[in-house]
Structure 1
Amino acid sequence: MKKVLIASYDMEVGGVERSLASMLEVFDYDRHAIDVMLYRHQGDFMNLLPERIRLMGEMRAYATFRKSIGEIFSERQWFLGLSRALSKVQAQWVGKRRGLAEPGYVQMQLMWKYALPFLPRIVQTYDTAISYLWPHYFVADKVKAATKIAWIHTDYSMVEASPGLDLAMWNKFDHIVAVSEACKQSFLARYESLAGKVVVIENITSPAFVRTMAGAPAVSPMKRDNRFKLLTVARLSHAKGIDQAVKALKLLKERGYGDIAWYVVGYGGDEPMLRELIIENGLEDSFILLGKQTNPYPYIQSCDLYVQPSRYEGKAVTVTEAKIIGKPILITNYSTASSQVDDNCDGCITEMSIEGIANGIERLYLDGALRSRLAETCLQTDYSNGSELEKLYNLVGAHKEGA
């Protein structure tokens, strides 16, 4: 039986965490003994971890990666607190010098770089160690394993990281898993030298689980709303484009579509800004933030059109889940969009702009026949993909010679 370690940050509500839970649910435990290392034992999805995994104890030093600098100092973890403060200051300087829209990626790299000397190693040796969420320094530097695998969940052309630090980290892995072909290509456009390491393994989905959860009772204002209901399930962040969604709805109202309501399930750092934007545009009654929901599926079931207004994605788990539930779907034309939706077949792709989003919604609002055709195509398609795990099993068995 192969000993496998899988590492991630926590089990907060999110697409990556849901895909990890789905993969663990269907893993072959007759052939693999799975240890899961979560840097912090928190999140509403903790109860989705199957009983057959061994959840390693939370390690105090690694838990700091989900805490504020103030919390770290209050716990008297002085060196880790200083490393975090230094990374924040340096990332802000690098961001200004390079004109980065999101210096947070650089800050995360530097946070790990400066913290590494103060982080404990894992004593046990594994056949395979898997790092499920970037940045992957823990598995790269603190775990001993014959084979090391790292995951890419996003469009890497949008990750504004420091290339030198990044490449040095990736070179410590034997295999790199991208969740879609487009995700793979965007990564290789930056790191062509790693082409021999990259494979595509799609997020594992369970249609039976999604449909069962979609039928669960949920107290939602959507149930009582007779307007044309749009829904987005996403983190409230720049990447997900919720600010553009607010402005697109304002544009639709100006065009005379007064009976459209847009609901958003999710949480994140952009929430205060988005609430201000909603008020500024007079959309308090029609652009509604529902907050964190551990079961988003009844909300998807209640919508008339699922919309993903993202600026970039790897492969959005929620879009696949909306397909499974049988909803017409509209997504923006982010670089990996064509790997997610077959335009005008099982969804529609629209221009990534405020006007583009509004135009796409208007088209589908007016064309009920198109919405029905998209939904029917989704309902007739089998989205189960448990066979993707065989690709991972092959990597788990591909140990380096002499390791």
Structure 2
Amino acid sequence: MKTVLISSFDMEVGGVERSLISMLDHFNYENYAVDLMLYRHQGEFLELLNKKTNLLNEIPQYTTFRKSISEVFKDKQISIGFSRIFSKIHAELVGKFKGMSEPGYYQMQLMWKYVLPFLPKLDKEYDVAISYLWPHYFVAEKVKAKKKIAWIHTDYSTIETDINLDLRMWNKFDYIAAVSEACKSSFLKKYGELENKVIVIENITSPEFIREMAKEKVDNPMMKDNRFKIVTVARLSHAKGIDNAVKALKKLKEKGYYDIAWYVVGYGGDEAMIKDLIKESKLDDSFVLLGKKTNPYPFMNETDLYVQPSRYEGKAVTVGEAQILSKPVLITNYTTAKSQVKDGFDGYITDLSITGLVSGIEKLYKSQEIRDRLINHCRNTNFSNKSQLEKLYHIVN
């Protein structure tokens, strides 16, 4: 029996975590013994883990990554705490000097670079070790395995990082698994010399599971709302463009579309900023933040239109899930958008801007015929892709 290690941060509610749950549900446990290394045993999705997956014990040093610096010092991880402070100062200085719009990714890189000497290695050797979420330094530096695979879920051409530092890490892997062809293509724009390592393994989806979960009875204010309902399921972060969604709805109201309500399922660091923006835009009664939901599918099921207003994506899990539920989908034209939907067939791609969102929503709001066409094409498409795991088994063997 082959041994497999998969590592990730935690099991908080998110698209990457949902795709990991789905992959673990469909794994061939007769041929593979799977260990899961979560840096922190935290998050609502923990209870959804397949019982055949062996969850390794927490290691104190690794639990620090999503804690505040003050919490790290309280945990008496003094060396890691000072490394975090140093990486924060370093990233802020370089970010200002280079005019980085979002230095957070660079700061995370530096954090791993500086804390690596204080992180223990795993004793066990594996046939294959998979790092499921960037940055991939744990599997690159602290795990012994015959083969190593790093998963990529986002558009790396849009992320500001130290490329040389990244390349040293990527070169520790035998394979880099992109979740779509477009995700692979955008990655290679930045790291062209890694072309021989990059393969495509799509996120594993289970239409049966999603449709069943959508039937769950939940407290859902959308069921009592007779307006035209838009839903977005996403983290409240810069990448997901929720701020642009608020601005787009404001413009739609100014154009006289008073009966549109926009519901967002999710949480994240931009929550306070988005709430302020909603208040300033006088949209308190029509742009509704529903917060974190373990099961977003009943909310998706009530929508008239699913919108993904992202600035960048690898392949948005939630868009595929909305299509599985036969909902008309509108996405912005981020770099990998054309791998996500066939424009005009099972979704609609609009310009990546506030104006683009306004015109796209306006078009689909006005045309029941277009929405019905998108719905029917989704209804007649088989979105199951369990066969993608065969690519992984082929690498392991």
What TM bracket, shorter-length normalisation? over 0.9
Superposed CA deviations along residues 124-161 of structure 1, whole A, max 9, x for unmatched, are 01110000000000000000000000000001111111
Give the letter for the 1:208 counterpart: E
Aligned 1:186-335 pairs, distance under 5 A: 186-335=186-335
**Correspondence 1:1-400 to 2 at 5 A:** 1-397=1-397
1:93-118 alpha-carbon deviations (Å, 9 max, x no partner) = 11111111110111111111110100
**Inter-partner Cα distance in structure 2 for 1:75 and 1:208:** 43
Matched position secondary structure for 1:45: helix
1:76 is displaced (CA, Å) by 1.3
Letter aligned with residue 324 of structure 2: I
Displacement, 1:169? 0.1
- Amino acid paired to 1:22: S
Q: Distance in 2 between matches of 1:65 and 1:158?
A: 23
Q: TM-score, normalised by structure 1?
A: 0.98
Counterparts of 2:103 and 2:94 in 1: how far apart (Å)?
Answer: 7
SS, match of residue 274 in structure 2: helix
Q: Structure 2: how far apart are the matches of 1:165 and 1:93?
A: 17
Aligned to 2:44, what secondary structure does the other structure show?
Answer: coil
Paired letter, 2:251: L
Whole-angstrom distance in 2 between the partners of 1:271 and 1:192: 36
Quick one: distance in 2 between partners of 1:394 and 1:38? 25
Partners in 2 of 1:93 and 1:106 — Cα distance? 11
> Which aligned segments of 4 or more residues in structure 1 are displaced greater than 4 angstroms?
none
Letter in 2 for 1:341: V
Q: Provide the rounded CA distance (Å) in 2 between the counterparts of 1:331 and 1:393.
A: 33
TM-score by length of 2: 1.00
- CA displacement at 1:395 relative to structure 2: 1.2
TM-align CA RMSD: 0.5
CA distance in 1, matches of 2:347, 2:191: 31
1:172-225 per-residue CA deviation (whole Å, 9 max, x = no partner) reads: 000000000000011111111110000000000000000000111111110000
Identity %: 64
Tell me which amino acid in the other structure corresponds to 1:205: T
Aligned partners of 1:362, 1:188: CA distance in 2, in Å?
Answer: 36
* 93-102 or 275-284, larger mean C-alpha shift: 93-102
The one-letter amino acid paired with 1:182 is A
Determine the C-alpha separation between the residues in 2 that align with 1:199 and 1:253: 45
Q: Give the length in aligned residue pairs.
A: 397
- For 1:309, the aligned partner's letter is P
Q: Secondary structure at the match of 1:248?
A: helix
Shift of 1:53: 0.8
